[in-house]
Amino acid sequence: MRSSESESNSNSNGNWGMFEEEEVEKMGGFVKGSDYIEVNCGCTSKKYGDFCGKLRVSSSGHFLIFCFCSDSCNAGTMTPEEFEKHSQREGIKKWKSNIWVSLEGLKVPLWRTCLLKYYKHSQNEANWTSGALRRRNFHRDEFIRCSHCNKERRFRLRTRDQCRIYHNAITNQRWKCVDRPYDIITCDDDEERESRKSSRGCPRSSKCRGCTSCVCFGCLRCRFLDCLCRACTDFVQNTAP
């Protein structure tokens, strides 16, 4: 108990070890707070370029990124893993290697800096509802409009088979209600109310319009090796084995 109080007092007095790191002061956008530091960071996608943000490292070991990738971005604050996914970077997901900071004008991966010495997994795990949710690659419900009656129909994407059904449907410009292989419906059936459509299964918010927890930019569940569409082809070519 005393050691915890001592550590807390040490941090509040500005004696946190991070404040003594000379390397940190050389990082772009360096800002020193009472119990945290901030530096510019980013993650680079071969297709979309650099996604830039501000990394905040607190004395508790908590890592948080404020995204500034564009003026229209409303992603807000994210964990490093969420920021990596938001950047739509291709290949293996390793945020410690893929997220970089600017050090004397060079892009340096986090793992090569002193910052990771102050990362505490327990502090960052608390950002998620549970460990299972943290590892879960979630896909929200999507809608496709019938080419005949112009009504939108819901597709659930919880399994790989459901993802394939939706994938085949969205590539079919003449898709009709009768083409759906489950929950058989026809064009005579009513369309869902707008209030009902707003609920798409996001694990964080029932009224979510799309966030890093429920929008997937490509994974082995929703991309298919035997499909020749652009999305699947790019995923196969850019994903490391």
Mean pLDDT per 10-residue run, the chain (241 residues)?
42 60 89 91 90 91 88 81 86 87 92 88 53 56 94 90 92 91 86 88 78 80 87 75 43
Range of the domain at 206: 142-238
132 occurs within a structural domain: no
> How high is the pLDDT of residue 167?
93
72, 101, 127 - which closes a domain: 127
What is the distance between the alpha carbons of residues 154 and 146, in angstroms, rounded to a whole number?
11
The answer on 58 and 90 residing in a single domain is yes
> How high is the pLDDT of residue 225?
84
The answer on 6 and 105 residing in a single domain is yes
The answer on 110 and 9 residing in a single domain is yes
DSSP 193: P
180 occurs within a structural domain: yes
The answer on 116 and 18 residing in a single domain is yes
> How high is the pLDDT of residue 5?
42
- What are all long-range contacts of 186-191, with beta carbons under 8 Å and residues at least 24 apart? 187/146, 187/148, 187/149, 187/151, 189/151, 191/151, 191/152, 191/153
Query: How many domains in the chain?
Result: 2
> How high is the pLDDT of residue 13?
41
The answer on 104 and 34 residing in a single domain is yes
211 occurs within a structural domain: yes
78, 94, 127 - which closes a domain: 127
What is the distance between the alpha carbons of residues 190 and 211, in angstroms, rounded to a whole number?
29
The answer on 43 and 123 residing in a single domain is yes
C-alpha torsion angle, residues 190, 196, 197, 199 (rounded to 10):
-150
83, 99, 127 - which closes a domain: 127
The answer on 88 and 40 residing in a single domain is yes
How many other C-beta atoms are found inside a 10 Å radius of the C-beta of residue 199? 14
The answer on 114 and 157 residing in a single domain is no
> How high is the pLDDT of residue 106?
92
The answer on 113 and 205 residing in a single domain is no
Q: Is the whole model's pTM more than 0.75, yes or no?
A: no
233 occurs within a structural domain: yes
> How high is the pLDDT of residue 147?
95
The answer on 112 and 38 residing in a single domain is yes
The answer on 195 and 97 residing in a single domain is no
The answer on 12 and 120 residing in a single domain is yes
> How high is the pLDDT of residue 122?
60
134 occurs within a structural domain: no
> How high is the pLDDT of residue 3?
41
What is the distance between the alpha carbons of residues 121 and 123, in angstroms, rounded to a whole number?
5
